[in-house]
Structure 1
């Protein structure tokens, strides 16, 4: 059942877990079967008594299906259950307030389906039978060996409410290259927050005549001055104009986050009653709770606030996944584009057992017998850079246009799709005029991605030969597969037009200070580098999705030359100028 590298990962992981190691990182490329590998580790760990349960975390709800499908397909000895949020599984469809204790459906537990791969149709049929899918899933998950859930369930806001004994649980995190996104974040417009908080007196006056919430009203009145202080701070922030970069906000020391937390907890106690009784102030109470809750992330210095345009953003300074290192039996991190061992150890503050398929010659050769490295050619462009200071340079702009034209001609001649990846939306914006000119030629479908519209681009790209312009780190370059019905990639070339280093920001500085035990500036420098490499590897990973896939990778930025052994060590490569690239294609 298992290929050589999968068996190696299973055996090594079990050995390390037996010895008490807490973090195992498995870096294994496309098509290597990471999901099955993780499931076999879970199955064996439970049978050997290393763990009693496992939580398998995936990025999105739709990605719950592959692990569930593999459990059934390979006949694994695991009792698996998916856990799906109230947005999809609650008959009332209400996720903003915990209504379960008061809900009349709270004891209506249904029967599981014959196959969990039909979970979404099962949800609909369970509701039609007047049973609650959400309650059913929670009940079934209590006795399950394997609970498959989305990232949000691992958040410290939610996981404790599931009642899972983490001390006996193994936590598997798929697509763990998203590590830096595992932080709680709240964002809201300043005007909206000020408006809502200014309605605070109106709220407790409205609740004053409501039975059963008198204690909550008293708490709200007691801390009215705290709300006034918060409003004053937000009003002062409106006087700042942030253009170039986000601004760190440091004056929330004037506001007591512990008092805000008391108000939030009081509102939480009142909200179920207000919502169920359709109280006219229920929506206002929910919105005020949401704004105030954001400021609780600042408690004890665990988070920081930033002004981004006319919005305030509050983020945690450490990934919440790090808190589970010592609270669980262990973490297993899966990805084909993991950060380095050193960086993971810095961010997680823990020793990491790092297993990389390419570090073992026998495993590497076994993989290449299936995925021939000669099917992919790397072309490094030696005369172009997307450095911020050079983006408007006429010479660089002309070279970028040559690369774009070369990509266009490749698609026009060979068909398929070329994915052109820009370092940012601002860089893509500079390219749009030339992309419009190429589109007018009519030979190739030129598609420019927009924020949040990746699904539309995906549909358009499947209609024929296409030149798709996307941004590193967006929906099209991470997690989305452009494949045909047989599972083969329809992408024939990936061109990365510029090294996608993160934009400098005070948050990344604060993050580096929070996780670093030494020189935080070195940690910050490493963070920029590693995040850039992850984005490039993710984009390039769209090219090969099956053993029969082949194509070209164009890395257009002189800075990529410093990373050629990291990005293309085992693949054939050429170094040429933008003019030579265009001439070669022509």
Structure 2
């Protein structure tokens, strides 16, 4: 055993260290020891989180803080739980998670508001004495608390969970937060910068780092309810004498409605022109705050439209100040306004002061691209294959082409038949998941009776905690079931290649990439994101040593895209042309016992 590994094992909280974890741990430790960065492509289920945390512990003891970035709040809790296990071994390491007020707020008035409005509500409620919760007077220290544990402890102490977290941020050895605190300029200055301001340069860990490309183009976003916007304008028109201000807001409401109608005609995103000067936006936000303050005693429903419009104006104000474009898009039936920036290099300086940066994911190709957008310094590149790859059959079914030009009644009917046939050939007791390219594609399958044409119960986009046994799960590639969750399925059917529709945002990104990455723009901005979504979805099947099953990439275009797959995976993929050959492979695979219950 290497001397470095032997020294690190005293921090490792499990009895055995997998070979793949050893590789991740040593690569991360080497980067930290040499003051370099590391790009680690390691398959799902390897155990990357605890390997990197273990590698960081000698540096934590030497005064370096770990700033750990994840995609979801569930992943934050996993990191905190791993740190708690190391603390149970007697190591004095303290994790502090960072979360927004959504999911933490204990004020009963907040329960009637959408999560996106809690920041606006919080400052308003405190200003009128309708929230007395704070961190003052409590001795509660939120170290190694998951979000649920923190909320319960603060409920008992009658303290504000958010303020308790913020008041102890500088005391954490490991500070865990989502990528929002990196890509959002305001949050970066308010939270990430202080977390990185210890005397010694921090170690930055980017988990599921493939998400950086998608997230870096969105500086901020809010959901848009046209009904709430109209109601807020009517309230201001009735209560404020400033006709010029209310006319401007009414004009904004009409612009949003026109943009929404364009989205209804088939577009997926449209740009919005912000003509109002910064002073007018600030004045309008102030007027909305006054109106909301007066109405707050009437309850959340009375202030919701005002807070909603105020959050929209805040995004517009930031976009004007920071030079972002404003885009309206439709996601799963919801309108969303976004402060959009197509520059792929805008985050390079965000974590300039660091001892090391460790970026890791199951799909970190091309590493050259990530090295450039993150500004990696002499990076150590490590590729770690899945230890479970031989537990699955990976197939490309070439009897299907789901490209945009091929879509129509015949294709959608063929896909429904394919799902039905695969379901019929999967042994009883086993579950399967079907991923499709888009919400529109999924709607076409449902219209054609997908739910009634398979033998198992069909669950469409179920919450991760309500998956069931012997079922067919159906979701969209890139959606909430396609990464970071264990679905306990025995077959993963990936229908189509999830290329983004070439809308305003995609074309703006392509133009920007063409100037930054000449000759590589289409590959970096269009092809690789689609391949990553498919590979991430395929990772829902192999999560541990007990997992066995079949992964099917159902689209002939995957034959050309195979060169962009992780090397460890590409070597195990084989093509099947005929449907009978595919169904035979599904029926005869040695699945073993079903994975339910876990």
Give the TM-score taking structure 2 as reference length: 0.77
Q: Which residue matches 1:244?
A: 266
Contact 1:233–1:251 (Cα < 8 Å) also in 2: no
Q: Which residue of 1 aligns with 2:420?
A: 405
Q: Is the 8 A contact 1:27 1:334 kept in 2?
A: yes
Match status 1:166 vs 2:166: no
Question: What is the root-mean-square deviation in Å for CA atoms of aligned residues?
Answer: 3.7
Per the alignment, residue 472 of structure 1 pairs with: 477
Measure, in 2, the Cα distance between the counterparts of 1:403 and 1:249: 38
Tell me the residue number matched to 1:58: 70
Structure 2 counterpart SS, 1:377: strand
Residue 117 of structure 1: CA displacement? 5.1
**Counterpart-to-counterpart distance in 2, 1:352 and 1:278:** 59
Picking from 347, 350, 361, the partner of 1:335 is: 361
Deviation at 1:131, TM superposition (A): 3.5
User: Which one of 54, 57, 62 corresponds to residue 40 of structure 1?
Assistant: 54
CA distance in 2 between partners of 1:374 and 1:311 (Å): 43
CA distance 1:157–1:429, change in 2 (3 Å): same
Report how many aligned residue pairs link the two structures: 534
Of 548, 551, 576, the residue aligned with 2:549 is 551
Q: 1:187 & 1:516 partners in 2: Cα distance?
A: 31
2:352 and 2:538 map into 1 onto residues whose CA distance is 35
Could you list the per-position Cα deviations for residues 389-410 of structure 1 after superposition, in whole angstroms to 9, with x for gaps in the alignment? 212263x456535532331123
Q: Where do 1:188-199 residues align within 5 Å?
A: 188-190=224-226, 192-197=228-233, 199=235
- Matched residue SS, 1:255: coil
Cα deviation digits, residues 60-87 of structure 1 (max 9, x gap): 3333322222123233552222334333
Picking from 159, 167, 172, the partner of 1:139 is 167
Residue 427 (structure 1) aligned with residue 453 (structure 2) = no
Query: Contact conserved, 2:221 with 2:336, CA < 8 A, in 1?
Result: no
Unaligned runs of 5+ in 1: 206-220, 359-363, 483-489
Q: 2:382 aligns with which of 334, 356, 359?
A: 356
Q: Return the offset for 1:124.
A: 2.3
CA deviation after TM superposition for structure 1 residue 494, in Å: 0.9
Provide the secondary structure at the position in 2 that maps to 1:385. coil
- Alignment partner of 2:502 out of 504, 514, 527: 504
Structure 2 segments unaligned to the other structure (5+ residues): 1-8, 10-16, 111-117, 588-598
> What is the CA distance between 1:558 and its match in structure 2?
0.7
1:387 pairs with 2:403: yes
> 1:438/1:356 Cα in 2 relative to 1: closer, same or farther (>3 Å)?
farther
TM-score of the aligned structures, taking structure 1 as reference length: 0.79
Alpha-carbon distance, 1:313 to partner: 2.4
In structure 1, the partner of 2:140 is: 111
Conservation of the 8 A alpha-carbon contact between 2:66 and 2:173: yes
Q: Is the 8 A contact 1:96 1:286 kept in 2?
A: no
CA distance in 1, matches of 2:154, 2:181: 22
Describe the superposition over 1:552-575 as per-residue Cα deviations: whole angstroms up to 9, x where unpaired. Answer: 111111100012344332325343
* Residues 263 and 342 of structure 1, relative CA distance in 2, 3 Å threshold: farther
| Alpha-carbon displacement from aligned partner over 1:356-406 (angstroms, at most 9, x marks no partner) | 324xxxxx5xx64xx2x3221112212211112212263x45653553233
2:399 alignment partner, SS class: coil
Over residues 131-187 of structure 1, what are the superposed CA-to-partner deviations in whole Å (9 max), with x where a residue is unaligned? Answer: 443333222322111122344444333343347153533332322222213521124
Q: Could you tell me how far apart the structure 2 residues matched to 1:352 and 1:416 are? A: 46
Gap change, CA 1:333 and 1:269, over 3 Å in 2 = farther
Residues 466-488 of structure 1: CA distance to partner in whole angstroms, max 9, x if unpaired? 22222211222222212xxxxxx
Partner of 1:181: 215
SS in structure 2 at match of 1:96? helix
| Bigger shift: residues 290-299 or 346-355 | 346-355
**Residue 295 (structure 1) aligns with:** 316
